């Protein structure tokens, strides 16, 4: 199943381009599902059709869905929610407020990711288009499996060494502890949840089938945010294969009082081409009417892709690479717009931590490199190079 994720700053036309891509793929004969994970959904407006939390048929080979976190919450989180709600109520928090507080941060993203895996395993669709929330929320969505994997390890360690041998036996003798210690049903629900989540990262970072496409306007703030997005997406190992620059004023037409703005756009367009090359850059003009309805989306798809197949991998470069030398191992990360002074890296056990600003990447190291401190990280062009000496690894083994 081909998976294409569209992201960009709010208001750049991301949903329209996502929907247009889905329409083109369906017309090519691919059974296509487009899924909005943005809490402020606008996919219904694009198709001029009311959508729900289950796939709605739009046209031949095309289905659409707007994810509803509360529907998924009831299906997947009921036992855990009841436990947390009871725990908060015992502490004196009103029941209604306790219920609201049990909708933990990141739950919308979590259930969206679970659907990605579910639809892939169904085998019903040839292509899945993700119309995501603005850039910051998308980064949280895509990095969630990694963060959750770390969290569940911690939770399971506490459950293994504290809850089972100590807290659970005591909870049978104390009503107060009985409210605090989660039941087997709660822990099983958490296990099921993370089993569903397991493998989602692999689906979204599969170099053969998955990619992210960035949508922007030729504006200074939007360009800066898109640069950060590309850097962080590369950091997390997501392949970006296209950039779409939307709402361009036509060069060969008189734009009236917008002529000055057209010149500004052209200047920023040059900056975009210089910064984002060799990624393919698609240029889309500003229309004189709204892009809503199938006909308008078909027109947009023609302007974006021309005769190209939208399902094709537009650019093929893996942003994280492992290279084995004779006496060393090198980890390379393509971070085109990163500030070297903001990058920090360290090793803890068998994990390499790389932090840029408030974004952190965790890479599990081969057993031979576990606990080995790397040399200082260095930039080679746009690539961050982290070098491990295999001699150090052999010396430690001895």
Q: Tens of pLDDT along 220-245?
A: 999 999 998 898 889 888 899 999 99
> Domain-by-domain residue ranges, the chain?
1-316, 320-397
Residue 387: which of 375, 371, 372 has the closest Cα?
375
Pick the CATH number of 1-316 from 3.90.550.10, 3.40.50.300, 3.30.450.70, 3.40.190.10: 3.40.50.300
248 pLDDT above the threshold of 90: yes
Pick the CATH number of 320-397 from 3.30.870.10, 1.10.260.40, 3.40.50.300, 2.60.40.790: 2.60.40.790
152 contacts 59 by C-beta, under 8 angstroms: no
Q: Is the pTM of this model over 0.85?
A: no
When mean pLDDT is compared across 49-53, 194-198, 373-377, the lowest value belongs to: 194-198
Per-residue pLDDT reduced to its tens digit, 104-132: 555 666 677 778 888 999 999 999 999 98
- Bridge-based pairing of strands 383-389 and 328-334 is antiparallel
Residue 342 pLDDT level (bands cut at 50, 70, 90): confident
Question: Which residue carries 């302007």 as its tokens?
Answer: 303
CB under 8 Å, gap of 24 or more: what pairs does 369-375 form?
A: 369/329, 369/393, 371/347, 371/396, 372/347, 372/396, 373/347, 374/345, 374/347
Residue 176 pLDDT level (bands cut at 50, 70, 90): very low
């Amino acid at each position: 199943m081909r998976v294409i994720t569209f992201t960009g700053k709010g208001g750049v036309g991301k949903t329209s381009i996502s929907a247009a891509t889905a329409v083109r793929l369906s017309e090519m004969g691919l059974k296509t599902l487009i899924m909005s994970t943005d809490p402020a959904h606008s996919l219904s407006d694009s198709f001029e059709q009311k959508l729900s939390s289950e796939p709605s048929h739009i046209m031949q080979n095309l289905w659409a869905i707007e994810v509803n976190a509360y529907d998924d919450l009831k299906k997947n989180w009921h036992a855990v929610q009841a436990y947390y709600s009871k725990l908060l109520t015992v502490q004196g928090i009103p029941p209604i407020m306790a219920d609201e507080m049990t909708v933990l941060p990141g739950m919308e993203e979590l259930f969206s990711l679970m659907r990605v895996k579910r639809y892939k395993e169904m085998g019903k669709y040839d292509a899945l288009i993700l119309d995501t929330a603005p850039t910051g929320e998308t980064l949280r969505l895509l990095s969630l499996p990694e963060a959750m994997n770390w969290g569940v390890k911690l939770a399971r360690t506490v459950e293994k060494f504290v809850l089972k041998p100590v807290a659970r036996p005591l909870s049978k003798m104390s009503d107060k502890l009985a409210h605090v210690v989660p039941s087997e049903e709660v822990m099983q629900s958490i296990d099921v949840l993370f089993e569903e989540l397991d493998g989602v990262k692999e689906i979204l970072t599969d170099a053969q089938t998955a990619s992210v496409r960035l949508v922007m306007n030729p504006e200074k703030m939007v360009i800066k945010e898109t640069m950060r997005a590309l850097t962080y997406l590369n950091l997390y190992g997501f392949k970006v294969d296209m950039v779409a620059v939307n709402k361009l004023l036509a060069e060969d037409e008189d734009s009236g009082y917008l002529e000055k703005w057209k010149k500004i756009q052209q200047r920023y367009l040059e900056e975009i081409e210089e910064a984002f090359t060799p990624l393919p850059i698609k240029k889309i003009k500003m229309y004189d009417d709204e892009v809503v309805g199938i006909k308008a989306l078909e027109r947009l798809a023609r302007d974006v892709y021309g005769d190209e197949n939208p399902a094709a991998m537009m650019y093929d470069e893996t942003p994280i690479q492992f290279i084995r030398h004779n006496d060393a191992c090198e980890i390379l990360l393509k971070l085109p717009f990163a500030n070297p002074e903001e990058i920090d890296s360290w090793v803890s056990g068998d994990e390499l931590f790389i932090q840029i600003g408030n974004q952190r990447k965790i890479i599990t190291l081969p057993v031979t490199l576990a606990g080995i401190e790397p040399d200082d990280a260095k930039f080679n062009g746009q690539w961050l190079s982290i070098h491990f000496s295999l001699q150090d690894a052999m010396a430690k083994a001895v």
